[in-house]
Amino acid sequence: MTCGGGTGWDNHAGVVNCVSTSQHTPSARLSKHEDSVPQPSTKPNPLCRELTGLFFASPWLIGFLLLFAYPFAASLYWSFCRYDLLSPPDFIGTANYRRLGAELLAGERFGLALWNTCYYTLLSVPLSIALGIGLATMLSWKIRGQALYRTIFFLPSVMPVVASSVLWMWLLDPRDGIVNYALSWVGIDNQLWFRGASETLAPPGWFDFGSKDALALMSLWGVGNFMVIYLAAIGDIPMQLFEAAELDGAGRLRRFWHVTIPMLSHVIFFNLVMGMIQSVQAFTQIYLVSEGTGEPAGWSLVLSLHLFLSAFQDLDMGYASAMAWILFVVLLVATIGLFRTSRHWVHYQGVVR
């Protein structure tokens, strides 16, 4: 590869050297915001710059083309095909999407998986926001041993998911599990957790914890990542705000509600978006606790698991691709929707960075 352009570049120098050759014109590059400054005509060959940039970006660029762009296009095409890997993809129009629509209306596989995913997301995301803020607030208090508590709260979130799944399957064992034992002290008996199909959000079963509740509990235990972000953001809140509120006679609770929470709204928003994306995409722990089946009775068959099984167990690549695209579009619309609402409740001003 040469830099060309008839400027007499040394071919041996190669792409990465071409910008350095321009050292005769340092003034062209001293400005930090080159884009907005009129460029002297002696600036380094623009083609050279392009090639240098592309050269440095090339590992990512190759990865993007092979692992994102091509798969993106291929899965879109395959979502309109019947494709079982044994024979080439066979175009069948929107049949996969119509099948998904029918399953959705009937509440069968795809409909069930969508419901399970929504349930898990709606349960775990708000609770993780509340818990993340709660723990971070506690850590911002003047308490001896704060570093130790921070480590304790954070540690579960780095625990390998295989290990934490093993651990929680045992903690939530319906017969011998320590959680049921602790719950029995407060009069809540015989929870089925990972073995149960009931749903807490549904009114008749307030204290019937099923498999998705167990998964949400597991995700709450790993809330440390978000907690750390909240903690950093609390540290960034200007102290004058608290002092002003105190002078106005605001008590501890009102300061929390009217100063801390609004000043954390940008992190709450981040947590909401990322939490939603993560919950919808959650796979490993769900695969592990249901032994790769989504059992009992399909109540932990979330979209990710259903998609995986359709693709690699049933070899129904077209159907799985169509599902992936629906998931992608729904997630995209939900994210855009959240960004739209954020204008009304997220405050960015006054954040010290």
Partner 1 sequence: MKRDRATPLAHTVVVASAIIFAVPIIWMVLSSLKPGTQLTEDPYSLLPVRWQWSNYPDAISSMPYLRYLRNTLVLCIGSVIGSVLSCSVAAYAFARIRWRGRNILFGIVIATMLLPWHVTMIPRFLLLRELGLYNTLAALIVPTFLGDAFFIFLLRQFFLTIPEELSEAGRLDGLSEWGIFSRIIIPLSKPALTTVALFQFIASWNDFNGPLLYLSDPQKFPLAYGLEQFISSYADQTNLLLAAATLFTLPIVLLFLLAQRTFLEGIATTGLKG
Q: Among residue numbers 183 through 212, which ones bind partner 1 (CB under 8 A)?
A: none
Closest distance to partner 1 from the beta carbon of 344 (Å): 21
The yes or no reply on residue 54 touching partner 1 (CB under 8 A) is yes
**151 binds partner 1, rule: CB under 8 A:** yes
Cβ atoms of residues 154 and 274 within 8 Å = no
Q: Provide the minimum distance between the beta carbon of 142 and partner 1 in the complex, in angstroms, as a whole number.
A: 5
CB–CB of 174/213 below 8 Å? no
- Residue type at 200 in one-letter notation: T
Q: CA of 132: how far to CAs of 114, 138, 220, 310, in Å?
A: 26, 10, 9, 35
Please, which residue, 199 or 346, has the CB nearer to partner 1?
346
Give the C-alpha separation, 159 to 177, whole Å: 20
Among 9, 110, 287, 299, binds partner 1 (CB under 8 A): 287
Q: CA of 285: how far to CAs of 117, 206, 289, in Å?
A: 14, 24, 6
Provide, rounded to whole angstroms, the least separation between the CB of residue 328 and partner 1.
Answer: 5
- State the minimum distance, in angstroms, from the CB of residue 29 to partner 1: 7
Interface with partner 1, residue 161, by CB under 8 A = yes
Q: Does 280 bind partner 1 (CB under 8 A)?
A: yes
Give the total of residues touching partner 1 (CB under 8 A). Answer: 114
Beta-bridge mates of residue 279: none
Q: What number of other Cβ atoms are within 10 A of residue 191's Cβ? A: 22
Contact code string over 88-117 relative to partner 1, x by CB under 8 A: ------------------------------
- Contact segment (CB under 8 A) with partner 1 among 99-107, 120-128, 138-146, 194-202 equals 138-146
Q: Name the β-bridge partners of 91.
A: 81
Which amino acid is present at 285? Answer: Q
In angstroms, rounded to a whole number, what is the distance separating the alpha carbons of residues 45 and 52?
A: 11
Establish if 282 lies at the interface with partner 1 (CB under 8 A).
no
Query: Which residues are 82's β-sheet partners?
Result: 90
| 172 vs 74: CA distance, rounded Å | 41
Is residue 78 within the footprint of partner 1 (CB under 8 A)?
yes
336 binds partner 1 (CB under 8 A): no
Which of 6, 30, 87, 344 is in the footprint of partner 1 by CB under 8 A?
Answer: 30
Rg of the chain, C-alpha, whole Å = 27
Q: Is 252 in the site for partner 1 (CB under 8 A)?
A: yes
85: exposed, middle or buried (Cβ count in 10 Å: 0-12, 13-18, 19+): exposed
17 near partner 1 (CB under 8 A): yes
Kindly tell me which residue out of 80, 119, 120, 154 binds partner 1, with binding defined by CB under 8 A.
154
Can you tell me which of 5, 7, 10, 34 binds partner 1, judged by CB under 8 A?
A: 34
Site residues for partner 1, window 304-323 (CB under 8 A)?
A: 304, 307-308, 311-312, 317, 320-321, 323
Question: How is residue 302 written in tokens?
Answer: 């979330």
Among 1, 10, 56, 207, binds partner 1 (CB under 8 A): 56
Torsion of CA 219, 129, 126, 124, to 10 degrees: 0
